[in-house]
Amino acid sequence: MENPKIIETPEVVVRFSGDSGDGMQLAGTIFSTVAAILGNEISTFPDYPAEMRAPRGSLGGVSSYQVHVGKKVYTPGDACDVLIAMNPAALKQNVKYLKKGGVLIYDTDTFVKSELDKAKFTTADPFEELAIAGKFQLVPVPISESTKSSLADTGMDAKSVARCRNIFAVGFVFWLFNRPLEKAEEFLTSKFGKKPEVLAANIKVLTDGFNYGANTHASVSTYRIESEKAAPGIYCDVKGNAATAYGLVAAAEKAGLKLFLGSYPITPATDILHELSKLKFLGVTTVQAEDEIAGICTAIGASFGGALAATSTSGPGVALKSEAIGLAVMAELPLVVIDVMRGGPSTGLPTKTEQTDLLQCLYGRNGESPAVVMAASTPVDCFYSAYNASKIALEHNTPVILLTDAFLGNGSSSLRIPEMDQLPEIKPAVASADMADSYEPYARDAETFVRLKAVPGTEGLMHRLGGLEKNVHGAISTDPNVHQQMVNNRQAKIDYIANCIPALEVKGDADADTLVVGWGGTYGHISAAVENLRAEGMKLAQAHFSYISPLPKNTEEVLRKYKNILCCELNNGQFAGYLRSKIEGISIKQFNEVKGQPFQISDIEAAIKAL
Amino acid sequence: MSYTQADFKSDQPLKFCAGCGDHAVAASMQKAMAELGIAPSQTAVISGIGCSSRMPYYMNTYGMHTIHGRGLAVATGLKTSRPDLTVWNVSGDGDCLAIGGNHFIHAMRRNIDLNIILFNNKIYGLTKGQYSPTSDRGLVSKSSPWGTVEDPFCPAELCLGARGNFFARAIDADIKNSVEAMKAAVHHKGAAVVEMLCNCVIFADGIHKLVTDSSVRADKTILLEDGKPMIYGKNRDKGLILDGWDIKSVTIGENGITEKDLLVHDAKKADPTFHLKLAMMGYSPYGYAGADDNLPIALGVIRDVEAPTYDWAVNDQIEDVKGKKKQRTLRDLLLSGDTWEVK
């Protein structure tokens, strides 16, 4: 590759890859956080090994962290511009993600026979074996040895020195992208401030990595990333699962209620349990239950007791919780059920992403059992979705199922830290003691069909709930007309919520004939594909659904306007089929993939072009 | 404030079969609640599914009739988030020990402060007559026309094996001692199990009669009372002694045995070994059948040992951690992490 230059770019994708123990996530986080501070939008995605403790240097032990920074960043990116490979296994596993002409930085010190063997290379020339020659800008850097000599005078042991290799790589990447080192130093100070020797070592290695680039690699392309001013405010970097947890905390705070999470560990949802368990000092109660069913049932108990109650899980857990969700439907108790979707069916692909639980969440219960189903569209939207799910649950006394997915849950983006007074009010639908003479557990508001919940401990409002059908007084009833009425009421209550949620928005060209539709975690990929094609001159409109049950009120009106509708989903067409069932006679084309991976933007573009 | 049994009766008519033991247990529960003096509004009764699990409807308290086997999980969530409430859980042998077995053992292990009334009639009544996990081996039922080929759980053994700290046993028709056992369960801080030996008049009539029938009860049961010698029998002339590693029934006045030689019940002993021996008197691996005919089955409070409760510990930890951190709101928390400002 000839003609090295400074490339002005609106966006860049960097992929850090190495052994699980090489600190790739920290390296990526430093890079993305500094980018955000400099005004870039960011989107990140970790790619963890499937095995729990794969041997060092093996193909199964490779861990990567992809970071996308720049203007208008919707996704972590299909492919990367720069790949950092800390060892041969990382190169072998990740080279497929590097764009043609991209920069490949690798630690030459690890390209030795023993490491090549572990990565199952059969010859001494891995580049020849991977047919890399001529495709990329190769940047060999002796990362291990340079780190060693950088820290030679510190007296640190070999293991501690080896742990700093990632920071040397970060320093080099900072040079490559013309990023100010002070910002990385500030990050390291906040992380290692309590351990001055570790901090000093990291800053030394960081600086030496930067200088190594400046002094020796004048011949490779360097980048200057454009930035756009974000809305003023204080920002932090959050992963989707943490954002979900924070959304629940914010809702509890706003509603003035205790937050209770009943949960059982399950990939990829467990981080919600982890996050909330850390927040006991905010009054959060978490119960790690004995199983998925107990997870939701403890939450139902806490909800009955007056808390904002939630349970977090993934698809197999939703299957186990179905009967209890039905109880919450019947008892009309507020409950937030979070499904961080993963590949299925059965155990499926636990660490991979899919949208295959939609119909399970809509319909996977016995009886006519309507619940609110909604979906988050970005890691940051997990915060607002969890907040809104809680608001709807508490104000309408219903279970709300919030769908996120492995891609959103593990990915991160920057959250503008909200001021509490800017979040909408939450007014739980609860009866008060002064209603003692007239309280009926299943009396409803004539417009919203919401029943008022009475909290145990309130004098005079003693009543019994349960899974059996009941009349308005809360007494068991098998009267056919009572059952019909209650079935109607429960459905009408959910239908009414369409009046309380935002209308479906359409982005793109006003005169487009084609509408691209999606829901949940595919928002970034679909948006990027639509914008790319519009930039090429195609007329396109896009509508993305956050609320699925009930649908926004204007859904039919919007969809009827378009000649072509393409619904893109990571399943076999569950939402497309749902829309057809709700809008009689509507014609919807589908683009579906079920690979356990997010869409490739280019694949969506191809599907749109093929219409 | 004092209450009467009527204060705890709801307006719903009891729908148990005529002659069912559950009528008496309902009365015992209401009587115990009244004598405890805890307000109906501060009391919650949670249940699963089964005949006995209809109980919340008959109690003028807060209540929830949940789904099969899951009453204890719902009750655990309620008590953990609302330790101020007195929470009862009503469950049958199928609900509690078959479909809900996992929740039962974990409620014991966690020692959550629930009052668990376990109605053991050794049969599935609501589904009309199948054997249950407490049915004696060989029981002929609709789902075992040639007799069961599986051994039963003894609830006490399961409770103590799962590290339960309170276990009592009472007979449905014996309201006086049932009320005492239930009150002791409520006074006990922690997971408390009261096994009610209940008679299903329709599908397993007389299932406990080997020990509960009025003609044999005095000689086939012993009411254990903390700190008192173990005496029983129609003539109050029988007692229990320790013979090597075994419990042995003796007659006072025979072979020089006096009251002083008898075992004295210690319900508060932390080591559960002897409580288990007491609880297993009269039981064989196959149920009542084949048990040592000379030993009575134990009634009353067999074990009552204080230990930290889960609901207390969860909330205590929250208060403790609050004292260690400065952040009081989500915003405090987010601002205390890695942040940057866009102006």
> Which tens digit of pLDDT belongs to each residue from B252-283?
999 999 999 999 999 999 999 999 999 999 99
One domain for residues B26 and B100? yes
Task: Give the whole-angstrom CA distance, residue B32 versus residue B21.
Answer: 17
B199 in Cβ contact with B206 (< 8 Å): yes
Can you give the C-alpha Rg of chain A in angstroms?
27
Q: Which residue of A has its CA nearest to B324?
A: A281
Residues of A in contact with B327 (CB under 8 A): 281-282
Task: Give the whole-angstrom CA distance, residue A57 versus residue A91.
Answer: 11
A191 in Cβ contact with A4 (< 8 Å): no
Task: Give the whole-angstrom CA distance, residue A189 versus residue B131.
Answer: 67
Structure tokens given for B21: 């033991």
One domain for residues B241 and B289? no
The verdict on A560 touching B (C-beta cutoff 8 Å) is no
What type of residue is A314?
S
* DSSP type of residue B242: E
Interface mutation vs chain B, best among A188, A281, A414, most B CBs within 10 Å: A281
Please indicate whether residue A3 or residue A404 has the higher confidence score (pLDDT).
A404
pLDDT digits (tens, 9 = 90+) for B151-210: 999 999 999 999 999 999 999 999 999 999 999 999 999 999 999 999 999 999 999 998
SS3 A51: coil
Burial of A481 (0-12, 13-18, 19+ CB in 10 A): exposed
In this structure, chain B runs to a length of 343
Considering the four listed CATH numbers 3.40.50.920, 3.40.1160.10, 1.10.3720.10, 3.10.129.10, the one that applies to the domain covering A506-609 is 3.40.50.920
The verdict on A298 touching B (C-beta cutoff 8 Å) is yes
Cβ contacts of A434 within 8 Å, gap of 6 or more: none
B18 in Cβ contact with B199 (< 8 Å): no
Interface mutation vs chain B, best among A298, A380, A432, most B CBs within 10 Å: A298
What type of residue is A125?
D
Cβ contacts of A88 within 8 Å, gap of 6 or more: A57, A110, A111, A115, A116, A118, A119, A121, A126
One domain for residues B89 and B125? yes
* DSSP type of residue A522: G
On whether residue B343 sits in a domain, the answer given is: no
One domain for residues B106 and B241? no
pLDDT digits (tens, 9 = 90+) for B209-266: 989 999 999 999 999 999 999 999 999 999 999 999 999 999 999 999 999 999 999 9
pLDDT of residue A5: 64
pLDDT of residue A1: 37
One domain for residues B148 and B249? no
Which residues are paired to A308 by β-bridges? A259
The verdict on A299 touching B (C-beta cutoff 8 Å) is yes
Which residues are paired to A69 by β-bridges? A12, A42
B77 in Cβ contact with B107 (< 8 Å): no
Count how many domains chain B has. Answer: 2
Q: What is the ipTM of this complex?
A: 0.98
Cβ contacts of B301 within 8 Å, gap of 6 or more: B166, B167, B168, B181, B184, B224, B225, B226, B267
On whether residue B236 sits in a domain, the answer given is: yes
pLDDT of residue B197: 97
Separate counts of helices (H) and strands (E) for chain A: 21, 23
Residues of B in contact with A323 (CB under 8 A): 67
One domain for residues B139 and B54? yes
Same fold, A6-225 and A232-500: no
pLDDT digits (tens, 9 = 90+) for A476-533: 999 999 999 999 999 999 999 999 999 999 999 999 999 999 999 999 999 999 999 9
Cβ count near B22 (within 10 Å): 28
The β-bridge relationship of strands B43-47 and B86-92 is: parallel
Mind telling me how many Å the CA of A12 is from chain B's nearest CA? 21
Place of tokens 């003693």: A462
Task: Give the whole-angstrom CA distance, residue A190 versus residue A187.
Answer: 5
One domain for residues B77 and B156? yes
Q: Which fold has domain A232-500?
A: Rossmann fold (3.40.50)
Task: Give the whole-angstrom CA distance, residue A459 versus residue A516.
Answer: 54
For residue A7, pLDDT beyond 90: no
One domain for residues B129 and B250? no
With a threshold of 0.90, does the pTM exceed it?
yes
Task: Write b or e for each residue in A198-233: b if 16 or more Cβ atoms lie within 10 A of its Cβ, otherwise e.
Answer: bbebbbbbbbbbbbbbeeebeebbbbebebeeeeee
A48 confidence band (pLDDT: 50, 70, 90):
confident
Task: Give the whole-angstrom CA distance, residue B311 versus residue A291.
Answer: 18
Structure tokens given for A95: 């080279």
pLDDT of residue A508: 97
For residue B293, pLDDT beyond 80: no
Find residues 436-455 of chain A whose CB sits inside 8 Å of chain B: 454
One domain for residues B91 and B197? yes
Are the Cβ atoms of A301 and B81 closer than 8 angstroms?
yes
A2 confidence band (pLDDT: 50, 70, 90):
very low
Written in H, E and C, the secondary structure of A101-122 is EEEEEEEHHHCCHHHHHHCCCC
Mind telling me how many Å the CA of B7 is from chain A's nearest CA? 11
Residues of A in contact with B79 (CB under 8 A): 301
* Domain residue limits at B107: 5-227+265-310
CATH number of the domain encompassing residue B102: 3.40.50.970
Are the Cβ atoms of B339 and A281 closer than 8 angstroms?
no
Are the Cβ atoms of A233 and B342 closer than 8 angstroms?
yes
Residues of A in contact with B337 (CB under 8 A): 236
The β-bridge relationship of strands A372-375 and A308-313 is: unpaired
One domain for residues B138 and B214? yes
For residue A51, pLDDT beyond 70: no
**Domain A6-225: top CATH class:** alpha beta
Task: Give the whole-angstrom CA distance, residue A374 versus residue A357.
Answer: 12
One domain for residues B155 and B240? no
On whether residue B86 sits in a domain, the answer given is: yes
On whether residue B336 sits in a domain, the answer given is: no
Q: State mean pLDDT over B294-303.
A: 96
B125 confidence band (pLDDT: 50, 70, 90):
very high
pLDDT digits (tens, 9 = 90+) for A237-287: 899 999 999 999 999 999 999 999 999 999 999 999 999 999 999 999 999
pLDDT of residue B268: 98
Percentage of chain A exceeding pLDDT 90: 81
The rounded mean pLDDT for chain B is 96
One domain for residues B162 and B124? yes
A179 confidence band (pLDDT: 50, 70, 90):
confident
The HSE-up count of residue A316 (CA atoms within 13 Å, CB side) is: 17
Residues of A in contact with B67 (CB under 8 A): 297, 323-324, 326-327, 467
pLDDT of residue B290: 65
Interface mutation vs chain A, best among B309, B325, B340, most A CBs within 10 Å: B340
Domain ranges of chain A: 6-225, 232-500, 506-609
pLDDT of residue A550: 98
Are the Cβ atoms of B77 and A299 closer than 8 angstroms?
yes
Angle CA A58–A60–A64, to nearest 5: 100
